[in-house]
């Protein structure tokens, strides 16, 4: 099941860096979650690697509120196409991930989605814990 990234006002700017609606999504399928944001981020996680997923409406860190490929260079990556409807995907163990040429030992992935509630419902059905929303 595919979940589109939120289409905010600044989406056109992301297309300049190769992020389009066709190559930017979360995909839940066959025991895995694929996170893709244009040509600069494409990662797949098994459900047993995920600690939890949750909705983060207004509580994302300041460095994740701008659009684009975001990171704090420590443990978080953001695939942000809109500052609203952001979900947090927490990993059980950090994973070395490359983002725009920078290595990040990622344990938290933030993604802005068109329909975060539909994504959370789908994850609930897979058995991945869905944490209470943070506001």
- Which one, of 47, 54, 55, 8, lies nearest residue 30 by Cα? 47
User: Could you tell me the two tokens for 84?
Assistant: 């609203």
Amino acid 28: pLDDT: 97
- Which one, of 49, 104, 101, lies nearest residue 76 by Cα? 104
Distance CA 126, CA 129 (A): 9
- Please give the chain's pLDDT, 135 residues, in tens: 999 998 877 777 787 778 888 899 999 999 999 999 988 889 999 999 999 999 986 556 665 567 788 888 889 888 888 888 899 999 999 999 988 788 889 999 999 999 999 999 999 999 999 998 766
Q: Please, what's the largest Cα pairwise distance for the chain?
A: 37
Segment 15-32, tens digit of pLDDT: 777 888 889 999 999 999
Taking the alpha carbons at both ends of the chain, their separation in whole angstroms is 26
For the chain, list the strands marked E by DSSP: 2-4, 24-29, 32-37, 42-46, 50-56, 68-71, 76-80, 86-99, 102-112
Helix extents (H) in 58-132: 116-126
pTM: 0.89
Q: How far is CA 107 from its chain centroid? A: 12
Asked if residues 135 and 103 have their Cβ atoms less than 8 Å apart, the reply is: no
């Amino acid at each position: 099941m595919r979940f589109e990234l939120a289409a905010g006002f600044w989406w056109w700017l992301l297309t300049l860096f190769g992020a389009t609606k066709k190559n930017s999504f979360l995909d839940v399928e066959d025991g895995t979650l694929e996170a893709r944001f244009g040509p600069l981020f494409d990662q797949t996680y098994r459900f047993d690697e995920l600690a939890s997923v949750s909705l983060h409406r207004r509580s994302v860190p300041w460095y994740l509120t701008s659009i684009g490929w975001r990171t704090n260079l420590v443990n978080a990556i953001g695939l942000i196409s809109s500052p609203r409807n952001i979900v947090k995907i927490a990993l059980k163990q950090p994973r070395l991930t490359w983002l725009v040429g920078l290595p990040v030992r990622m344990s938290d992935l933030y993604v802005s989605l068109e329909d975060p509630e539909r994504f959370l419902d789908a994850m609930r059905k897979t058995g991945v814990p869905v944490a209470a929303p943070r506001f």
